[in-house]
């Protein structure tokens, strides 16, 4: 079973004052307005709670997560619901599960060619850990808007070709934890041109997947993606 959330096509509702007040009240204090304000939050937390595997595909926007993904995070990372505040700090309340984060960036933020900071990877790692998700593997696609041979041969500093970091760590995972086993992935584009990916189970083991997609362009071509 695959639950898909295309946050670019259907953005989460903005965080407003009503929501900010509702999350501070206890469930027995909620009125109809609070319940309405928290409805989307409850829905996406519920999806996360049942997911055995989570896949997040996100571009880097201005060095960090796109606003749509940040808003989804604000709906999911909720005090007394997905994390507890303790004297030792925040403690996650969700169970850990394998989580794959595929990032794409127009330029380079890691390795010898990095010319910009990366607030995307460490932020996602920290915020997922806050709710209890620590088993996180990152796959970084870099240089996706730098073009092919024509662009690389143009005057200016030479750059590496678009590169994918991280698949090694996935390949080294124990066979029964590899996301590719028992699944087939397919990519299509919806009427608005958004890339849509789906995972089809091909074995008896049927984990529940949650896929979050926030990209605005066509899915990257070539390579394992
Ligand atoms: C608003 C915006 C901000 C961006 N900021 C960055 C950035 O800080 N660094 C970078 O390397 N690429 C940046 N990009 C390029 C995107 O990361 C790149 O287009 C994206 O990874 C391609 O994936 P997509 O086609 O699925 O959106 C930005 C793109 C947009 C639209």
Confidence at 188, pLDDT banded by 50, 70, 90: low
- Number of structural domains in the chain: 1
- pLDDT score of 112: 82
Nearest CA to ligand 1 atom 19: 106
Q: Is residue 223 part of a domain?
A: no
112 vs 110, more confident = 110
Does 145 fall in a domain? yes
Residue 41 lies in a domain: yes
* Across 95-106, average pLDDT: 95
List, in sequence order, every beta strand (DSSP E) within the chain.
2-6, 53-59, 83-86, 89-92, 99-104, 136-142, 163-165, 183-189, 195-201, 209-213
- Highest-scoring range by mean pLDDT, 87-91, 176-180, 194-198: 87-91
Closest ligand 1 atom to Cα of 215: 26
Residue 219 lies in a domain: no
Residue 222 lies in a domain: no
- How far apart CA 94 and CA 78 sit, in angstroms, is 11
12 Cα to the center of ligand 1, angstroms: 20
- CATH number, domain with residue 64: 3.40.50.360
Question: Ligand 1 centre from 136 Cα, in Å?
Answer: 22
Q: What is the pLDDT of residue 167?
A: 41
Decide if 218 is inside a domain.
no
- Identify which of 8, 60, 101, 103 to mutate to test ligand 1's pocket (most ligand atoms within 8 A of the CB): 60
What's the Rg (C-alpha) of the chain? 19
* More confident: 209 or 153: 209
Residue 225 is assigned to a structural domain of this protein: no
> How far is ligand 1, taken at its centre, from the CA of residue 67, in Å?
12
Q: How far is the CA of 61 from the centre of ligand 1 (A)?
A: 5
Q: Is the pLDDT of residue 222 over 70?
A: no
Which DSSP symbol is given to 28?
Answer: G
DSSP state of 116: S
Mean pLDDT of 49-78: 97
On whether the CB atoms of residues 206 and 49 are closer than 8 A, the answer is no
105 Cβ closer than 6 Å to some ligand 1 atom: yes
Segments forming the whole domain that contains residue 163: 2-190+197-213
Mean per-residue pLDDT over the chain, rounded? 79
Q: How far apart are CA 126 and CA 122, in angstroms?
A: 6
Q: Alpha-carbon distance 143 to 104, whole Å?
A: 8
59 lines ligand 1 (CB under 6 A): yes
User: Which DSSP category does 175 fall into?
Assistant: G
Over residues 116-175, the pLDDT tens digits come to: 999 999 999 999 999 999 999 999 999 888 654 323 333 334 444 445 554 433 333 444
Q: In whole angstroms, what separates CA 118 from the centre of its chain?
A: 15
Ligand 1 centroid–CA 105 distance in Å is 5
């Amino acid at each position: 079973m695959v639950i898909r959330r295309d946050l670019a096509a259907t953005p989460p509702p903005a965080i407003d004052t009503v929501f900010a007040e509702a999350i501070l009240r206890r469930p027995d204090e909620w009125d109809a307005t609070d319940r309405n304000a928290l409805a989307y939050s409850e829905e996406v937390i519920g999806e996360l709670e049942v997911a055995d595997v989570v896949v997040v595909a996100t571009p880097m926007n201005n060095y960090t997560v796109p606003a749509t993904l940040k808003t989804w995070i604000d709906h999911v990372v909720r005090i007394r619901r997905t994390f507890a505040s303790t004297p030792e700090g925040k403690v996650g309340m969700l169970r850990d599960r394998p989580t794959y984060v595929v990032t794409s960036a127009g330029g380079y933020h890691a390795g010898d060619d990095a010319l910009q900071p990366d607030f995307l990877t460490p932020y996602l790692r920290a915020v997922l850990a806050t709710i209890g998700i620590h088993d996180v593997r990152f796959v970084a696609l870099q240089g996706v808007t730098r073009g092919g041979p024509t662009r690389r041969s143009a005057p200016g500093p030479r750059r590496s070709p678009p590169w994918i970091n991280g698949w090694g760590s996935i390949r080294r995972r124990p066979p029964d934890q590899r996301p590719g086993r028992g699944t087939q992935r397919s990519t299509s584009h919806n009427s608005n041109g958004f890339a849509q990916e789906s995972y089809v189970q091909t074995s008896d083991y049927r984990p529940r997947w949650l896929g979050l997609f926030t990209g605005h362009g066509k899915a990257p071509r070539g390579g394992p993606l």
